[in-house]
Amino acid sequence: MAFVISCTAMKDTNKAISGKVESIESGKDGYTAKVITDTKEVYFATISIVNVGGPQNYKQVKIGDEVSLKGEIWKTDDEKHMKVQEIVSVK
């Protein structure tokens, strides 16, 4: 009997994180912000126009900004990533 493990089982959808932007790396369709939470967790949050629902919802954050983001979280062996689907706040 074969068992199939879905990749989606390792992803948490519609989760929220808040923290401070430590660095930004530009990409083809957006950018990835390294966000450090108050509990010192590090997330690599990928923000693109398509994933946030269009240009009206897209914002460019800066290093030092306090952000609150919602999206799909997944983990690799040593990193946590988020595909951002909503930019809740930028301060």
CA nearest to 71, candidates 29, 24, 31, 12: 12
Cα dihedral value 13, 19, 25, 28, nearest 10: 30
pLDDT band at 13 (very low <50, low <70, confident <90, very high): confident
Model confidence pLDDT, tens digit, residues 18-60 = 999 999 999 988 999 999 999 999 999 999 999 999 999 999 9
Helix (H), strand (E) counts: the chain: 0, 5
**Residue 68: beta bridge partners?**
18, 89
Tell me the whole-structure pTM to 2 decimals.
0.85
Residues 6+ apart with CB under 8 A from 89: 66, 67, 68
